[in-house]
Amino acid sequence: MTSLVSPADLTALSGQLEQLPLPQALLHLTESFPGGTVLSTSFGQEDQVLTDMIMRFDLPVRVFTLDTGRLFEETYKVFQRTVERYGRKIEVYFPDALAVETLLRERGPFSFYESLDNRKECCRIRKVEPLRRALAGAQCWMTGLRTEQSETRNQLPALTWDESFGLYKYNPLHHWSLSEVEDYLQHHRVPYNSLHDRGFVSIGCQPCTRAIRPGEDSRAGRWWWEHNTNKECGLHDR
């Protein structure tokens, strides 16, 4: 599939998207990448905002999620409520079974606590490789990343070229505050993960996520035993 937009047009397209109200921007994006726009959702607050817009306005965006096999029960519940609410399927990608079996046999079920390398290997198997399959054939990948989520994301652009996966990456909520996200969910009565009401801001795999403490940034609850500030799993470079 050949994109109608080349990397040289990145700045122009980004400016056009920023000038439009968000629902119209999403429509313009799908027209720029006909049949090639996807949304990855972990059923977090930001992803639910975008899922609501896509599904209420029936936009031609393929929505998928990565099931690592270690998600919270509450995440599956909001998955179910979302499908029931909008009546539209969400694609699911699992990690390679043999790779998971090998990881557990050779390193045990909690190897990610032992070293950063082990944790990144687990993330690669359970998240990054399934993402590559999910993004196959896509031209533009939409995410719920926001600038205020962490120090490493404070210069997050609306639209960029993702070298790792070889496609455009659109972050339509990059300038939204958490309160704006929460207000949107409440106003439109969008299903959301009940863990958010218990201090969980960024929600991933159950063994690797905790609620944040007062004064911590939203990523502090992810891989909470690590002391580095770049709390990423390999899906995003920032």
Is residue 101 exposed (0-12), middle (13-18) or buried (19+ Cβ within 10 Å)?
A: exposed
C-alpha 210/C-alpha 136 separation (Å) is 32
Contacts of 120 by beta carbon, 8 Å cutoff, 6+ apart: 233, 234
- Residue-level pLDDT at 219: 82
Which amino acids are annotated catalytic? 233
pLDDT in tens, the chain (238 residues): 445 556 667 888 888 998 999 999 999 999 999 999 999 999 999 999 999 999 999 999 999 999 999 999 999 999 999 999 999 999 999 999 999 999 999 999 999 999 999 999 999 999 999 999 999 999 999 999 998 875 655 668 889 999 889 999 999 999 999 999 999 999 999 999 999 999 999 999 999 999 998 888 888 899 999 986 566 665 655 4
Domains and CATH numbers, the chain: 7-208 (3.40.50.620)
